[in-house]
Structure 1
């Protein structure tokens, strides 16, 4: 896939469905079976409800683009994606789309045949076995109740379909079956397509985790890699450890370089991060400000619904503004936003609101401050720069020890620090000492004279967080305030984002101050790049208020 010449993707868009080229055209794969599949749907399926009920089924343009990517293949006909997650707001039409896909998987041209005139051609799959899996019968009923209305007379007659409450048969020997919370019943099956329905409710307590594990095993052992699985969900509730949350965490881990991409398609459309909800109540006595905020909320809902124009925006807004509905649930259901966990430091939407799509890249000679946090093998090591001019944060390098044989390459880290000093005008550096003390001493000796601001009286780059807990807590507080006020900006680096949202608040012995840490000591959710960002930003704030910066016209707040 040629990813050159693509427009930047705003943080509320995940996946290729809404990506465009700089020419304005949609970004689409070179080879896909979607054209054949959608044409088959038009010929054999009917719209189940709404003003067009009974007419030929036509997916929206948004749904069509998703299908284009889901059925994308390479030159040899192998699917680009082995598994996927489609996350959309409540009422978007996930069940009708998955019902149409299930019927197409049963009898339509969903298997690669050949390439003809530069186009991939599909053919029906032999012995199709489709499973619609859920943790309750009600969830499978959402999909199975659509089959009688969507299967046209032509489809029933030509393919000999028999539609029952939890089973659909075809004369060719294919079957669609509903499966619920019985992992043992799933063990050993060899399906060709599996739908995981409403995975935000798949929990350990209702056997959702075990079901997902069995399904993953069945998909992996399918002959010729023919089986694929697709999950549908709304935004999950953080901390519940649902399968939807695990899928989201897996996607973030892949983006941050913490995991290998095994062919996962994660596609989501949220309302922009700055869409107001709770803020409206505080503006009730200011008609002008309230109207402006209400318009932003309306725009957020319109963006989140995508092409699902049957969703009434006024009705959704009324539900969101109903004080009986928790704000977190409104954001999850109707804005498709993942909220922060209770003790989180910075919410995903707060961080995403600070991203600037047109941010000037870090360039040679830029005046910066550096933040460094090192580890030998357990945690990550990272080097982050904060540009003095505009408080913009950039991850210069980050090292995952698992990608380096279990231990961070120290000489590589040293080379990155040397390169940063050679490339940029570094005016201050704060480097934690633990596990990198010898190198921190070397950096202080080698670069100390170049620095305008000294971090420590004995070593100009040394910032030992074990002995400067209050200073770090103050920096954490200042960083959070800057995020809320959007006086710090970033380029959307996935590693920094993941580490920022992983960080949780931790109490200190200093009145109302708090620090940040991992969720647990042994948590795999790393925060090292976030610590570096705090150190770099704190150094920048101290520098711009120091005597060394007088007369340079740089201010803390933009």
Structure 2
């Protein structure tokens, strides 16, 4: 059985994609060491950010994040890589991991080790956790993979089967409220893929669909069609060559979504590109046809055009209000919140519906989810996928714009006429 031994220069690194993400592990370590025999035996200075020796001897426990250049050349004795299912290309996770692994490899003969802690990964994201698992499947030496997965559950309404799967997954974690987690299996706010991954620790073999076809179709409202003069909000997601461009409207009073304009890439035409004049005309025609109260635009590659819309729409507004706003996808926290609000409204069927447009439905059901520390975002099923999601992104922006317009007091309440008798 392996036994820990003292080393002359102990360097323990707690690694994550951001320093905030290391906080939970650091707090656990600080909590266990504080006022424990180890604090006095080893003479530890337990700081909020770093733990080191009181007498100035070399050695420390420290958090490290995604600055891989700064990490290069370190000589750690133990590295904890936390939540590696979040370590994806978009946040530099794989690059950071490669640096940490190289550093640990250089002193492996002296006992250095690297450990990952993770939930079940999303196979669509190619995270560090996924790459490690695939490495394990190849019987790679010097790799120990330890995982408890719950038994497969075909029917999530079968509470006994769900409870058995949860007990399998949680094992001897007696403090976990396993019985109370059974209800999560049928919670409308918990997608099936999320339940399987985060509660049963099961790796899903297919990507996490954001919204399925049947859920979306249940929101179809054939009554009360969109009419000229309706108060609406608009979402715009644009491209020039490599993707589609979409404009989606959302009526303020009931959240009814409808497709205003779409240009989808012709995969057979290598020289295809969006016609910006048609996009501009569609946006201006929408402003003439409806009472547009708020527009959210993804500004990527369209900054100049959005600037013109902003100036012109403000000038046309009777009250001189700002109508057009940028919503950059780089604002990850805000984007994740907008996607969550949209998704929650869809699952609950609350203040959201649509006119049955088939292209919008296809883009909505094409979208798959991926996780970031700030929440859940949506993307195509793969980088080269021909299944577009631009109208889905525009719908999210339109729904978010609706919320902003209502919060700003721009929605006019329709009052039913009352008959008066004398």
* TM-score, normalization by structure 1: 0.36
Q: Which has the higher contact order (CA 8 A, sep 6+)?
A: 2
* TM-score, normalization by structure 2: 0.47
